[in-house]
Amino acid sequence: MVIIEKMVINIFVMLVPILLYILRSNGGFKEKKSFVMVISMSVAAYLCFRASIQDVLSFLAVCSLPILLAFFYGGRWAGWIVGMVSTVTCLFSYGIGCWSMFTQTLFVCFLCTTVISRFEQLQSKWLRVRFAFFIAFAALVSQIAIMFFSMTAGGEQVQLDGKVLSEVLLMLAVTSGIAFLLILLYESMRQREQLVAHILDVERCLTLGELASSIAHEIRNPLTVVKGCLELLDEKRKRSEYHDVIVNEITRAEEIIGDYVSVASPTIEPRGAVLVDENVRSVVSLFEAYARRRGLSLTYQCEHGLYVEAVGAKLKLALASVIKNAIEATESGGVVTITTYLKENKQVVYEIKDNGVGMTAQQLDKIGTTYFTTKESGTGFGTMISIKLIQEMGGQVTYESHYAEGTKVHIVFPLLKKGEVSQQREEE
């Protein structure tokens, strides 16, 4: 039992680099051809042979595990490298007298080389676990058989009494159990990484689908105008007027496409000094007619002379999305108010307030996610874009809302001081 205790202690010492490899922080689990796997299993093999166990059975219990794991989860070349490390360490530790261990290591390497192709073809987690465990168990039994055969061939008398047999069986059971747990842990990590990759692919596809839907929705309006103008081009007197409308609407469609592309593939654009009241006034003018058609009152009040550092076009796009959402969430007779002011901590606040339907606490938590919207038809993509654009420019967005009372959106940017405004204008 003393030998078994030493064997278990040294097994856990040997397992340290293996566990470090498995539990390393989200480094992209690689089931084969991993340099980290080679290093980890080589260190484990070295610790196996340098451990203070003087019983040959104990060596058999631990020295084959790093080689097996290297073959299964590092590939052929990783397995052979770890096998070479085991052999060289054995030679330096025990000299040429360890030819039996060398033979057993060579047998394990050839066995794994033979079956590794079949193992790599398996996809099911439990099929891989069973297959790998069967090979590991077969390797352990074969090593024991080779050891007893070499001892008998060398003229030694091998007495398989109850004590020896019980130690052999106990060693085999302990090592097999540890091998099973390690294989199961590796396969669980592999399955987890595959699941994460699959989820990312699905999210990417869904996002592309939502993006395509959003673009189609935004582009449809200017194209409808262009189509109507083309149908009326027969009236020569208004041809010039329709021509201007067509050009303007096509330009708007190009700008919309550019906005979506810039979000999908963001580029670094230089920020400049943006005059807040002018920025708000230009956005409000776009929605005044839309608000009147819906029977709403759209008002704004801005503190003059405030500047923020941002990309003017992107800030305008973000404000337009927030204001449009406020208008669409407010029923006829309601009021949408845009206010800008300077806080005491030198921050400029854009406040967009409506007295519309509002949101519940659960809905408020989902604001900014791709698939959340309170509209009957929508994707939530516009809100997500707005929040992303503002954050990229150094701003912050917060939502306050109460169901049946309305919503208040705060967009906050650091104040750009007059000296900084002058400097940026000189650079422009």
Mean pLDDT per 10-residue run, the chain (428 residues)?
A: 58 63 51 67 74 52 77 86 84 65 81 86 84 85 73 61 71 79 82 77 67 66 67 58 67 64 60 91 88 92 91 90 90 94 90 92 78 62 82 92 91 84 58
At 42-95, the pLDDT tens digits run 877 777 666 544 455 555 556 778 888 888 888 888 889 888 888 888 777 666
Encoded tokens for 19: 């566990």
Say how far apart CA 361 and CA 407 lie, in whole Å: 12
Q: Which two tokens stand for residue 299?
A: 């008002």
What was the pLDDT predicted at 363?
Answer: 84
Give the pLDDT of residue 409: 96
Contacts 24+ apart (CB under 8 A), 260-268: 260/211, 260/214, 260/215, 260/218, 260/385, 262/314, 263/385, 263/388, 263/389, 264/211, 266/392
Architecture field, domain 207-264: Orthogonal Bundle (1.10)
pLDDT the model gives residue 141: 80
Nearest one of 137, 130, 131, 129 to 108, comparing CA atoms? 137
Q: Where are the beta strands (DSSP E) in 266-363?
A: 272-275, 297-302, 307-310, 335-342, 347-354
- The structure tokens listed for 208 are 């592309």
291 neighbors 336 (Cβ within 8 angstroms): yes
Geometric angle at alpha carbon 18, from 28 and 175, rounded to 5°: 135
Phi, then psi, of 191 in degrees rounded to 5 = -65, -40
Give the pLDDT score at 72: 86
DSSP conformation class of 333: T
Q: According to DSSP H, which parts of 342-400 are helical? A: 361-365, 381-392
pLDDT at 299: 94
**In whole angstroms, what is the distance from residue 399 CA to residue 244 CA?**
40
Establish whether domains 207-264 and 272-427 are of one fold.
no
- The answer to whether 291 and 298 are in contact (CB under 8 A) is yes
Do the beta carbons of residue 69 and residue 41 sit within 8 Å? yes
pLDDT of residue 26: 47
Helix residue ranges per DSSP H, 159-274: 162-231, 239-264
- Residues contacting residue 128 through CB under 8 Å, at least 6 positions apart: 119, 122, 183, 187
Using alpha carbons, select from 385, 383, 395 the residue that is nearest to residue 274: 395
User: What are the residue boundaries of the structural domains of the chain, listed by start?
Assistant: 2-200, 207-264, 272-427
Predicted local distance difference test score (pLDDT) of residue 239: 60
Q: What CATH fold (topology level) applies to the domain 272-427?
A: Heat Shock Protein 90 (3.30.565)
Residues 6+ apart with CB under 8 A from 136: 64, 65, 68, 176, 179, 180, 183
